[in-house]
Structure 1
Amino acid sequence: MNFRYDALYPSRRSPVLAENVAATSHPLATQAALAMMSRGGNAVDAAIAAAATLTVVEPTGNGLGSDAYCILWDGKELHGLNASGASPEAWTPEQFRGQTEMPYRGWGSVTVPGAVSAWAELTRRFGKLDLPTVLAPAIHYAESGFTVSPVIGALWQRGAEVLSDQPGFADMFMPGGQVPKAGERFHSAEMARSLQRIAETGGRDFYEGALAEKIAADARANGAALTLADLAAHKPEWCGTIATDYRDVTLHEIPPNGQGIAALMALGILEHLDLADLHADDPVALHLQIEAIKLAFADLHTFVADVRYMTEVTPQDLINPAYLKERAKLVSRDRAQNYGPGAPRTGGTVYLTTADASGMMVSFIQSNYSGFGSGVVVPGTGISLQNRGAGFTLQPGHPNEVGPRKRPFQTIIPGFLMQGDTPKMSFGVMGGPMQAQGHVQMVMRTQVWKQDVQTAIDAPRWRFIEGKKVACESALAKATRAELVEMGHEISVETPDSAFGFGGAQLIERFETGGYAAGSDSRKDGQAGGF
């Protein structure tokens, strides 16, 4: 099929208003979520159905070998789940001596995948439907096939150019030696069988059964450290959330090893900078947000790691209001500054959010990290493995230094806003170091400047890179860019081909009178839907 899609003109979607809603980065995943709620399931069932479907239809950002995090409001209280996996027990610092950085691709970058454990644990504790029912849409698309969408087709081609020589990649993702193009169909009977096995065993087979044995066997065959014991030792952790107040709302994030704390630090700094009289796209408003993010990132890459190893500086130290007030004093209203370390590489991730008529709201994210992750696919399973091990550092003594059975620093973060004791907004912005920055931009636009969820998503974005370097979308007004340059920012305008660096957002905001508004990012293939 000769299918061509060119986004020649700006697109403004309308927010979707309904009592049961879902917003994901792929329409088939959104429809899977709505199907669960329409047959009596709740927002958790919907979220897991969407997450599983995304491993099939958006393999460029996630897979069965992903990690995951979740924040959910069950109708009475907020819960936080960390389902990111740890490093193999054999990963001591000595094993990587002589290397200048952690491996970024291949088996040497693979840590224990946690996404399947998140599906099982969330379904067990909060779901209304069983896992075979919830995973049925994903199994169907894996077995019968689906039509590749435009954005994913382009990312698929890009990934194949650098990963085709990784173990199992070409067999899985390049059928007949070709990358599926937008408009062409793709299926994987092997992935369908793995999903079926996960559904039948409540996820146990992935960590203790036949699937686990295949993963461990392939690791041995390729000289990798991951073992069956490493997989069996994995357990998702109900970790709660950490939070920062901003005006009359409270932003909740998962505690480290993720970067969500950077969004909390930035908001805590912005609380002490006067933005109230500025409009959303005022150059000074953008400047102050950029400076707050720069300060937050300087601390993020110095102190943040697996929380068990943050002995010098704790998460509560970093979000202490008195400390953030002092940090805010460093910001000049008219001059860009260099506060220190830069951001990590951009990556591939899927974020989704769901909400139901009972009041349950779910903020869920899963990722293979870089596009297609490690590039490794376990033979006969369709399991593509993440490369989260690349998140470690080799710097001796750093809290994020590689070590055995240790969680690496993670970029993926789900966000959740509360207003007092009431849920306000479940949201996320996928895309490597863009995520914490995107959280700040979404909170500011929806809460300070009262933009609806879709308008906030559609607005042009910026991304701090390092030093005084800031990338902007071309939609940001030239006059605004010129004023930022005048302040000392080194502005670059990224081309549409690199626009994934500005992430993909999904937002659901709750109305005080009941019901929700949902928005989905036009930068992705996604969809917001409801009934």
Structure 2
Amino acid sequence: MRDFQCPGRSAVYATNGMCATSHPLAAQVAVDILKQGGNAMDAAIAGAVLLGVAEPQMTGIGGDCFALIAPSSSAEVVAVNGSGRAPAGASARALREAGHSMMPVHSAHAVTIPGAIDAFCTMSDKWGKLGLADSLAPAIHYMEHGVPVAPRVAFDWGPGSAKLQGTACVDFLQGGLCPQIGDLFALPKQAQLLRNIAKDGRDAFYSGEAAEDMLAALNAAGGLHCAEDFANTACSISTPICGLYKGRDLLEHPPNGQGIIAHLMLNILSHFDLPSLDPLGAMRVHIEAEAAKLAYDARNRFLADPDWMPRLDHLLSAQTAASLAALIDPNRALPNAPATSEAVHKDTIYITVVDRDRMAVSLIYSIFHGFGSGIASEKFSVLFQNRGAGFSLTEGHPNELKGGKRPMHTIIPAMLRDHGRVTMPFGVMGGQYQPNGHARFVTNLTDYSMDLQTAVDAPRSFFDNGYLKLERGYGDTVRAELTAKGHDVITPDSPLGGGQAIHIRDNGVLEGASDPRKDGCALGY
């Protein structure tokens, strides 16, 4: 139990249903949908789409989503891939010949076809109860009337806003300035598009005037997108990757997401006696950082669209993890692994919902960089993601840009399953931090027996581009010990991601936790 004389928050407990996400209004809307008779899928879509106006720098209908869905606590979990593909005309060779060694991240060349709307429509049809129109109604209302800008949203608005271009500067700024805490922000153009989608489904987005509006903006910016690219967009449904960590099943979305790297990290960490280490001490940070260096190096070399990915079994192999673990010196930092592409970024939202029938949804939804590509369509103000920035331009790389291909994706939803029963949908935001964040969260729970809210709150560390980032929750002694081991220790400018989780306890009670690094909360009824 936490010290009630110190700053902090309690977990939330309820019995009928619960949502945890990064903005309180989205959590409230999701719970309202549950109270109206909707299920977890109806509620998750409602909250997620609303976050496009509540946190527009993080997500929106011009982006992608991934989801894990457990129709009941004992049912098999389904993975839905709502990530878009590169336009058919995309070519790594053409960009190399134009002088690019990396994807131009704030250009139309980095815009993959938005996949989220197709996924939302598909999930609503297959697993929803109320229907898409009811799920979209709250977002339509708030996009029309506005949402007050929350503190973390205001904090994030400025860094990404410099990349806004053309009509996006009008629609996502106010008189050329970033809105401040408490200012109302609305997206009335998107409200109209959502009305059309509520009436006519995914075709109202991927064809007709909406597709024409989006193509006009992308083609004017030099993009090679065509009407067929939008019309052919379709999510895919598969089975999660399951990995065992000390008796618990961790379910991750398969590639092109990076959930498999969380498995690799945990498999490496299983070779060390983590419970004997101080959970906030230097040695735990060091071992985890070294595991991240090795796991992320493997990610950068192998992870891609699964149709082009030859080494999936290698990344899951116990021998691979054992060989990598043997490289870790407890007393000395490894030389830096190859730097992660600067295209990998941190902006996204996560929402999880569990309903009275214990259907669980773990959903993550993003436009990648802050405000994505910075390009928006004129009529409907669709702000495009720049997920194509996740591609490589290296000839022959599994993740090399190619028309019709999905890029390596950072966003990953997750679930824990104990003794055959789904017990916890969870997610940790933070771009490339996410596999490390999943490993940290699971070890907080499993190796250190932290309660749910403490496991979310606890200070974070991450090896990133040659630096070991330590949040301010770590003291000077830990920093000095890590420096002595050869780490280049810095304090990041912003927190390392966020996170939410819902624990379906053995007695059926729902326990929800939401990260204080964001504005959100867990709410139940």
Work out whether residues 469 and 490 of structure 2, in 8 Å CA contact, stay in contact via their aligned partners in 1: yes
Other-structure match for 2:475: 477
After superposition, residues 117-516 of structure 1 pair within 5 angstroms as 117-160=118-161, 162-164=162-164, 166-311=165-310, 313=311, 315-338=312-335, 340-344=337-341, 345-467=344-466, 469-494=467-492, 498-500=493-495, 502-516=496-510
Q: What SS does structure 1 have at the residue aligned with 2:365?
A: strand
Q: Which structure 2 residues correspond to residues 6-25 of structure 1 after superposition, within 5 A?
A: 11-19=7-15, 20-25=17-22
Indicate if the aligned counterparts of 1:263 and 1:293 stay in contact, CA closer than 8 A.
Answer: no
Q: Residue 138 of structure 1 aligns to a residue in which SS?
A: helix
How far residue 400 of structure 1 moved from its aligned partner, in angstroms, is: 0.7
TM-score by length of 2: 0.95
Take 2:253 and 2:348, find their aligned partners in 1: how far apart are those partners? 16
Report if the CA contact (8 A) 1:25-1:525 is conserved.
yes
Please say if residues 23 and 527 of structure 1, whose CA atoms lie closer than 8 Å, have aligned partners that are also in contact.
yes
Contact 1:33 1:49 in 2 (8 A): yes
Q: Secondary structure at the match of 2:216?
A: helix
In structure 2, do the counterparts of structure 1 residues 95 and 350 end up closer, same or farther at CA, with 3 Å as the change threshold? same
Deviation, 1:177, is 2.7
For each residue in 1:162-207, what CA deviation from the matched residue of structure 2 results, as whole angstroms up to 9, or x when unmatched? 224x132112112333322111112222111011111112222111
Supply the AA of the counterpart residue of 2:9: R
Please give the alpha-carbon distance, in whole angstroms, between the structure 1 residues aligned to 2:166 and 2:313.
Answer: 42
Instruction: Tell me what 1:80 maps to.
Output: 79
Q: Does the 8 A contact of 1:84 with 1:236 survive in 2?
A: yes
For residues 5-32 of structure 1, the C-alpha deviation after alignment (integer angstroms, 9 at most, x for no partner) is xxxx984111011121111110110011
Question: Contact 1:194/1:382 (CA < 8 Å) preserved in 2?
Answer: no
Structure 1 residue 421: deviation in Å? 1.0
Shift of 1:220: 2.6
Aligned 8 A contact 2:107 2:221 in 1: no
In structure 2, what residue type is equivalent to 1:125? Answer: K
Give the corresponding residue for 1:4: none
**Aligned counterparts of 1:381 and 1:324: Cα–Cα separation in 2:** 48
Cα displacement (A) at 1:339: 5.7
Report the residue type matching 2:257 in the other structure. G
Check conservation: 2:346, 2:433, Cα contact below 8 A: no
1:363-419 C-alpha deviation (Å, 9 max, x unpaired) = 100110000000111101021110011111111111111111010111111111111
Cα distance in 1, alignment partners of residues 82 and 198 from structure 2? 18
Determine helix, strand or coil for the equivalent of 1:384.
coil
Answer whether contact 2:19 2:354 (CA < 8 A) is retained.
Answer: yes
Counterpart residue identity of residue 114, structure 1 = G
- 2:46 aligned with 1:49, yes or no? yes
Deviates more, 1:251-260 or 1:229-238: 251-260
Residue matched to 1:112:
113
Instruction: Compute the TM-score of the two structures, normalised by the length of structure 1.
Output: 0.94
- When residues 218 and 510 of structure 1 are mapped into structure 2, their CA distance, relative to the original with a 3 A threshold, is same
Specify the SS of the correspondent of 2:65.
Answer: strand
CA-to-partner distance for each residue in 1:129-156, whole Å, 9 max, x for gaps? 1111111110010011111111111222
* Secondary structure in structure 2 of the residue aligned to 1:528: strand
Match of residue 524 from structure 2:
530
Return the alpha-carbon distance in structure 2 between the equivalents of residues 216 and 228 of structure 1: 7
Q: Which amino acid aligns with 1:16?
A: V
Q: CA RMSD in A?
A: 1.5
The one-letter amino acid of 2:112's match is: T
Which whole-Å CA distance do the structure 2 matches of 1:222 and 1:329 have between them?
A: 49
Measured after TM superposition, the shift of residue 491 of structure 1 is 1.1
Q: Match of 2:147, as an amino acid?
A: F
Letter in 2 for 1:28: L
Secondary structure (helix, strand or coil) at the match of 1:177 reads coil
CA distance in 2, matches of 1:473, 1:347: 15
Q: Match of 1:366, SS?
A: strand
Cα deviation, residue 338, structure 1: 2.5
Percent of counterpart pairs with the same letter? 38
Give the partner amino acid of 2:41. V
Change (3 A) 1:182 1:74: same
Measured after TM superposition, the shift of residue 454 of structure 1 is 1.1
Aligned residue pair count: 514
Deviation at 1:322, TM superposition (A): 2.4
Query: Given the superposition, is the C-alpha separation of residues 339 and 153 from structure 1 closer, same or farther in structure 2, using an over 3 Å criterion?
Result: closer
Q: Distance in 2 between matches of 1:335 and 1:256?
A: 32
Q: What's the secondary structure of 2:494's corresponding residue?
A: helix
Q: 1:151 corresponds to which letter in structure 2? A: R
Gaps of 5+ in 1: 1-8
1:28 paired with 2:25, answer yes
Contact 1:297 1:342 in 2 (8 A): no
Alignment match, 1:69: 66
